[in-house]
Copies of this chain bind each other. A is one copy, B any other.
Amino acid sequence: MSPPTAAELPVGESEFDRDTEVVPRSDDPGVFDAVLSSGWTISLGINGGYLLAIADRALSQVLPHPDPLSVSAYYLTASVPGPAVVRTEVVRTGRSMSTGQARVLQTDSEGNEVERLRVVAHHGDLDALPTEVRTSASPPVMPPPHQCVGAEHAPDGVFGPRETNGLIERLDVRMDPATVGWALGEPSGRGEIRGWFRLADGRPNDPLAVLLATDAFPPTAFDLGIRGWVPTLELTVHVRARPAPGPLRVVLGTRNLAGGLLEEDAEVWDSADRLVAQSRQLARTPRRTR
């Protein structure tokens, strides 16, 4: 990826912050207004990690602890670009950890609120965690970003028409060439994708961006020869550290494609070789698999 520019946007002034902004309702404590931006769509839907970030942003405003530790999203109905409301609940507050729930809803054509996703999360203070690190997992070995492949290199049609894929424009995702055979019609069958992640406008990574990073890559299902939409049913992310500056490395894998469902695991590593997040999602495969 290109070196940071002088115009690199700090946290708070980027597209990601603008599009995940949640505005509290002064007359309705714990309730926030948001706009689900069409800028974060991929193929048929709004990106699940982006929706998760909106929900967690609201929670960070109502819970005494700012940082996600464990966040689980249950996706219910397809979100559409446009207004949304986030209804939060403080479930429990503690000394080092608090728990909250956020429901993201949109109003349908008949004026009824329809729930798009339900999120439950433990929050804590990542900067106050004990410093001992005994991680036995190893960071991925990949070519540097400028030797990796961006989504813009994918053959037309892999992601659908470009105009429905705003997500690709807003992310700077570069994949290890060893894991993009699927984009050239030759899926490896291993169900693995790995690459570099940062936001396209250069916004530094923080725990909210880490949530996004776990769901920001093409589906590993593509590397299993599956084409089509692979909607996320559920996603749980454990955020374990505030990322060091610089791009993140993400390793994705699927080992249990069966029964019309698959799990997709993600590991997110920072520039200091710290495993800053682990996630797993359950997704549904298309009715007809290749």
Contacts and interface: CB of A to CB of B under 8 A. Distances in A.
B258 A241 contact: yes
Interface stretch (A11-19, A20-28, A72-80): A72-80
A135 interface: yes
Nearest to A190: B136
B234 A122 contact: yes
Interface string A28-70: 0000000000000000000000000000000000000000011
Interface residues of A, number: 50
A255 interface: yes
A260 B127 CA distance: 12
Contacts of A74: 70, 72, 91, 99, 120-122
A137 B101 contact: no
B234 A259 contact: no
B282 A261 contact: no
Given A132-B289, A135-B255, A240-B261, 18 more contacts: A69-B282, A70-B282, A72-B72, A91-B115, A97-B233, A101-B118, A120-B120, A126-B259, A129-B261, A130-B260, A132-B258, A134-B224, A134-B257, A135-B258, A238-B261, A240-B258, A256-B275, A263-B278
A191 interface: yes
Contact of A76 (B92, B129, B234): B92
A278 B259 contact: no
Give the 7 A-B CB pairs with smallest separation, nearest first.
A129-B259, A137-B255, A130-B260, A72-B72, A70-B234, A133-B258, A134-B257
Interface of A: 69-70, 72, 74, 76-77, 91-92, 97, 99, 101, 115, 118, 120-122, 126, 129-137, 190-191, 224, 233-234, 236, 238, 240-241, 254-261, 263, 274-275, 278, 280, 282, 289
A23 to B, nearest CB: 25
A160 B147 CA distance: 55
Nearest to A74: B120
A9 to B, nearest CB: 29
Contacts of A76: 91-92, 99
Contacts of A261: 69, 129, 238, 240
A280 B134 CA distance: 18
